[in-house]
Structure 1
Amino acid sequence: MRITGGMMITGLLRDLRRAQEALSTFQNQLASGKRIQRPSDDPVATVDSMRLRARIAEVERMRKNAEEARDWLETTDAALDQATQILQRVRELAVRAASGSLPDSSLEAVRAEVEELRAHLVEVASTTLGDRYVFSGFRTDRPPYVIDANNNLSRYQGDQGRIEREVAPGVRMTINVLGDEAFRKAFLELNKLLTDLQNRDTTSISQTRIGELDAAIDQVLRLRAEVGAKVNRIELGLNRMTEIRIDTERLLSEVEDVDVAETVMRLSVSEAAYRAALMAGARIVQPTLMDFLR
Structure 2
Amino acid sequence: MLNRVTNLTMSANAQRTLQTQQSKLAELQEKATTLNKISRPSDDPAATAQALETRSLLAANAQYGRNIDDGNTWLTAADSALEQATNVMHKIKDLTVLAGNGSLPQSGKDAIANELDSLNKDLVSIANSKHLGRNIFAGSSDAASAFTGAPPALDGLPKSPVERRISATETVRVDADGKTIFGSGNGSVFDTVKKMADDLRAGADVAPWIGQVDTAFKNIVNGRSEIGTRQAQLERAGNVNTELEASLDAQKTGIEKADLGSVIMDLKLQETNYQVALAATARVLQPTLMDFLR
Q: Is the 8 A contact 1:72 1:129 kept in 2?
A: yes
What CA distance in whole angstroms lies between the structure 2 residues aligned with 1:67 and 1:160?
26
| Aligned partner letter, 2:122 | H
Between stretches 58-67 and 259-268, larger displacement belongs to 58-67
Partner of 2:195: 192
Q: Are the aligned partners of 1:162 and 1:174 in contact in 2 as well (CA < 8 Å)?
A: no
Quote the offset at 1:85 in angstroms: 0.8
The answer to whether the 8 Å contact 2:75/2:174 transfers is: yes
Contact 1:136 1:142 in 2 (8 A): no
Residue 159 of structure 2 is matched in structure 1 by 161
Q: Map Cα deviations across residues 171-211 of structure 1 (whole Å, 9 max, x no partner).
A: 3433332222211231121111221232232x2x2x11222
For residue 235 of structure 2, what is the aligned residue in structure 1?
235
Moved more, 276-285 or 60-69: 276-285
Change (3 A) 1:154 1:214: closer
Deviations 1:86-112 (A, max 9, x none): 111111122222213444443333223
Conservation of the 8 A alpha-carbon contact between 1:158 and 1:179: no
Q: 1:14 aligns with which of 13, 16, 19?
A: 16
Q: Is the 8 A contact 1:131 1:141 kept in 2?
A: no
CA offsets 1:32-63 (integer angstroms, 9 cap, x no match): 33211122222222222233233323333333
Unaligned runs of 5+ in 2: 289-294
Tell me, yes or no, if the aligned pair for 1:30 and 1:263 is still in contact at 8 Å.
Answer: yes
* Aligned match for 1:110, one of 109, 112, 136: 112
Length-normalised TM-score, structure 2? 0.83
SS of match in other structure, 1:161: coil
SS in 2 for 1:116: helix
Question: What root-mean-square deviation, in Å, do the aligned CA atoms of Structure 1 and Structure 2 show?
Answer: 2.7
Tell me, yes or no, if the aligned pair for 1:182 and 1:220 is still in contact at 8 Å: yes
> What is the letter of the counterpart of residue 96 of structure 1?
L
Q: Is the Cα contact below 8 Å between 1:135 and 1:158 reproduced in 2?
A: no
Deviation at 1:22, TM superposition (A): 2.0
Aligned to 2:46: 44
8 Å Cα contact 2:151/2:191 also seen in 1: no
Percent of aligned pairs with the same amino acid: 28
Q: Is contact 1:145–1:153 with CA below 8 Å preserved after alignment?
A: no
Say which SS state the counterpart of residue 147 (structure 2) adopts: coil
Match of 1:35 in 2: 37
Is the Cα contact below 8 Å between 1:52 and 1:248 reproduced in 2? yes
Say if 2:106 and 2:201, in contact at 8 Å, map to a contact too: no
Shift of 1:235: 1.6
Letter in 2 for 1:137: G
Contact kept? 1:108, 1:197, Cα under 8 Å = yes
Deviation at 1:220, TM superposition (A): 0.9
Q: CA deviation at 1:146?
A: 4.1
Relative to structure 1, is the Cα distance of residues 115 and 33 closer, same or farther in structure 2, using a 3 angstrom cutoff? farther
1:158 to 1:246, Cα distance in 2 relative to 1, 3 A: farther
